[in-house]
Amino acid sequence: MPADEFRTKALTWLTEHARPFAGESADGNFAPSLKESKAFQKSLWEAGLAGITWPKEYGGQGLGEDEVIAFNEVASDFLLPTGPFVIGLGMPGPTILELGTEEQKKRHIPPMLSGDEIWCQLFSEPNGGSDVASLQTSAVRTEMGWLINGQKVWTSGAQFSDFGAILVRTDPTVPRHSGITMFIVDMHHPGVTVRPLVVATGDAPFNEVYFDDVEVPLDAVIGEVNQGWAAAVVMLRNERVTIGAGGRSRSNPLGYDALREIAADIGTADDTGVRRRLANLYARETAVAAFGRVLHEGALAGNPIGARGSAAKLAGAELGLWASDAAEDIVGQDIALLTGKSAKAARMILRAPGSATAGGSNEIQRNIVAERVLGLPKDPGAADRKTPFNQLKLSK
Amino acid sequence: MTLIDNPDQQALAESVRKLVAARSPLTKVREVALSDQSYDADVWRLVCELGVPGLAIPEQYGGAGGTWADLFIVLRELGAGLVQTPLFASSVLAGGALLASDDEELKSTWLPRLADGSTIGALAVSEENDATWGSQPSTVTAADGKVSGTKVAVLNGAEADLLIVQASDGLYLVQTQQSGVTIAGDEVLDLTRSIATVRFDGAEGHRLAGTADVVLDAVIDLANVALAAEQSGAIKSCIDITAAYANMRYSFGLPIGAYQGVKHKLADDYTEWSLVDASVRVASEALTSGASTASAAAAAARVLASPAYTRAAKNMMLLHGGIGFTWEHDAHLFYRNAVTGKVLLGGPLFQQDRLADKLGV
């Protein structure tokens, strides 16, 4: 189906079923329940608008990147309650499609697309941060499968997830990247405890997740035992592209459209400095979206995204931080208030540093770009790559 | 349409890249920069043999009938090598102005000569003490087709056979080989660009049919993308040259590229370049398809590219340490080019204001 036809189909469906984005004031109370989100995802999928590039045999649409771009453009005019599915469809989903067994794909991909089952990603640990490979959550082999013990943190959506993709250490006697395995874990297992993690904004968008003798079967391995780092790289690559190279969104409170509207409302739009700030914001925002397009189109033409995904992630994070500064200038003194039209921007500037850290800090992304894109030497801090994990110094 | 270059464009870029490597490496660029010539005639002849000056000129005017995107791809390659040619002034500025005008007679006469490179054109817009560019009031006047006044910052003015001159009542085509035109090459920071001050004293001119504001507006879009494309190529060269050095130069027992102070600067330059390159592609696409966002996209590309280039060139000097500040090193050639490119054809504030205007802010 040509992309234009798909665009028309998407627009028609969304006009009928989704809530139009109509400026700052209209979406102030937009807080869909999980039930509403699930129902929406199901109908989106039934309409043939979910999993656009995913294979048909697992419930996808089997279409191309042009259709994804068409959908995203059309969808930017609507408020979609699809937040709970962003992680699953952005990270574990593509990773299972790439590395999973036929049984895993058949079992997990269709309910993921239809919104029946929600997924989270369990990588980060309290002492790890961006150094994902330092993880200490362990799994030991049992007669039936594996037994997981340990703690994860910064887990989005764990409180309502049905499954998680978890990274654990399965062999501590080998160097740190070599003894890691990725499993599919049932979040409803009695040994799993989820605790909300309150962040700087006062919200609890993340969780701490504790694993206490959580059993997983042998066929829960994604990829191969002790080859989890390779699977993690695949997932992190998908994550960076998901986080970094998003399209322009009218609903982003620190986006060009929203800040322009605020400037018009509070009467600073004629100010030369504000005009220039907005112009720069537009230039950066459109460039970040375009960079995402260049990577995707290049990948389709046979040039895999690879470590350039880190550049996209970095660009997106820096845009958020840059836009925070712009918002401070554009909004002026009202940025100190959590009331009125600029409240969403104020909340968002508080959130921006956290968003920049999610998926690996900017400094880590810079190392990745420098080493894997520009070919610079390994960081001296990576000297422990050959030391067995259980001989490494992990804290002072 | 895709943002990725099509196979023809990739082949074209490859041809130009080979030409640059073989005939105009940075040693040659330096040699030309220090000579009396503003460009190497042999290199320009080879560029013309590839049909480059006529790429975006329609076939009916002797061109290849390609797209502006084709030309921008060549400019990116030439920019990467700091190759001196009158291509920008002649094909983008003068050619773009003629094409955007309604003057069939002047188009039929001059475009074929610009297309084959036998005539060099340039555009005279800027005036003393004015950092804006385009359709501002002009102190140059024309009475009965006799043009008088002074224009500054005329790119390749000293090499031009014809000038498109913005006067108070419209655009004029003025041939330079006449007594009423005095051209003085300026002493300039950028050793790879030739910039001139041109005085007109009752020079014979032909008024271009069409509205000057409309023509200049179109030229600004082209110029913005063209310059951003050149700068995209140059930024990548700054990064590549510096990354190679960072792998080779040891300090405190390690290659300097192993230190995050070096790594992070280069990673930032690379990420910035990725955005510049993507924005050039979007603007090329928009101009080629005639999208309503083309002017904004063109200005946006320039708003990003010019400062990113200055930063990358400055980092190139800094990350090379002392050697980067020597005359023998190429870093200053890029830095000079970057600083000049930022203020050329309307400075950064003009570009930001233009973008805000085009967005309707």
- Whether the CB-CB separation of B230 and B72 falls below 8 Å is answered with no
Above pLDDT 70, what percent of chain B?
A: 99
Q: Write the ipTM.
A: 0.95
Domain span at residue A215?
A: 119-228
What residue type is B104 in one-letter code?
E
Residue of chain B nearest A380, judged by CA positions: B258
Query: Does residue A72 sit in the same domain as residue A148?
Result: no
Give bridge partners of residue B63 from the DSSP assignment.
none
CB contact under 8 A, B299 and A269: no
Q: Residue A188's closest CA among A160, A166, A218, A147?
A: A160
Interacting residues of B152 by C-beta distance below 8 A, sequence separation 6+? B126, B127, B128, B186, B197, B198
Q: Is A67 a catalytic residue?
A: no
At B257-314, the pLDDT tens digits run: 999 999 999 999 999 999 999 999 999 999 999 999 999 999 999 999 999 999 999 9
Residue A205 forms part of a structural domain: yes
pLDDT at A29: 62
What residue type is A225 in one-letter code?
V
Residue A70 forms part of a structural domain: yes
Q: How many domains does chain A have?
A: 3
Question: Strand A192-197 vs strand A206-217: parallel, antiparallel, or unpaired?
Answer: antiparallel
CB nearest B361 (choices: A279, A378, A379):
A279
Residue A238 forms part of a structural domain: no
Q: Measure the CA angle with vertex B205, ends B200 and B207; round to 5°.
A: 125
Residue of chain A nearest B349, judged by CA positions: A276
At A24-36, the pLDDT tens digits run: 444 456 778 999 9
pLDDT at B341: 96
CB nearest A294 (choices: B255, B278, B355):
B278
CB contact under 8 A, A279 and B266: no
- Count A/B contacts: CB-CB distance under 8 Å: 138
Q: Residue B279's closest CA among A262, A95, A250, A279?
A: A279
pLDDT (mean) for A79-87: 91
What are residue A175's phi and psi, to 5 degrees?
A: -55, 155
Query: Does residue A275 sit in the same domain as residue A365?
Result: yes
What residue type is B85 in one-letter code?
T
pLDDT at B29: 98
Q: Which helix (H) or strand (E) holds B115?
A: helix B104-116
CB nearest B279 (choices: A287, A369, A379):
A287
Give bridge partners of residue B166 from the DSSP assignment.
B171
Q: Which residue is associated with the tokens 């900017």?
A: A362
CB contact under 8 A, A283 and B300: yes
Residue A381 forms part of a structural domain: no
At A188-211, the pLDDT tens digits run: 999 999 999 999 888 888 999 999
Residue A383 forms part of a structural domain: no
Which CATH number is B7-116's, of 1.10.1660.10, 1.10.540.10, 3.40.50.920, 1.20.58.220?
Answer: 1.10.540.10
Question: Strand A163-169 vs strand A206-217: parallel, antiparallel, or unpaired?
Answer: unpaired
Q: Residue A221's closest CA among A284, A141, A283?
A: A141
Question: Strand A163-169 vs strand A119-122: parallel, antiparallel, or unpaired?
Answer: parallel
Give bridge partners of residue A337 from the DSSP assignment.
none
Give the domain CATH number at A174: 2.40.110.10
Residue A32 forms part of a structural domain: yes
Domain range annotation of chain B: 7-116, 121-210, 214-358
At A112-135, the pLDDT tens digits run: 999 999 999 999 999 887 788 899
In CATH, B121-210 is 2.40.110.10 = yes
Own/partner pairs for B71-75, CB < 8 Å, 24+ apart?
B71/B226, B72/B225, B72/B226, B72/B229, B72/B280, B72/B284, B73/B5, B73/B9, B73/B12, B73/B13, B73/B229, B74/B12, B74/B13, B74/B16, B74/B47, B75/B226, B75/B229, B75/B230, B75/B233
Q: Which residue is associated with the tokens 């990270």?
A: A91
What are residue B167's phi and psi, to 5 degrees?
A: -115, 175
> Pick the residue with more confidence: A19 or B56?
B56
Residue A208 forms part of a structural domain: yes
The per-residue DSSP string of B28-77 comes to HHHHHHTSS-SS-HHHHHHHHHTTGGGTTS-GGGTS----HHHHHHHHHH
pLDDT (mean) for B91-109: 97
Query: Does residue A54 sit in the same domain as residue A150?
Result: no
pTM: 0.90
CA–CA separation, B146 vs B234, rounded Å? 41
CA–CA separation, A355 vs A371, rounded Å? 23
In CATH, B214-358 is 1.20.140.10 = yes
pLDDT at A26: 43
Query: Does residue A259 sit in the same domain as residue A295?
Result: yes
Identify the domain boundary among A193, A228, A263.
A228
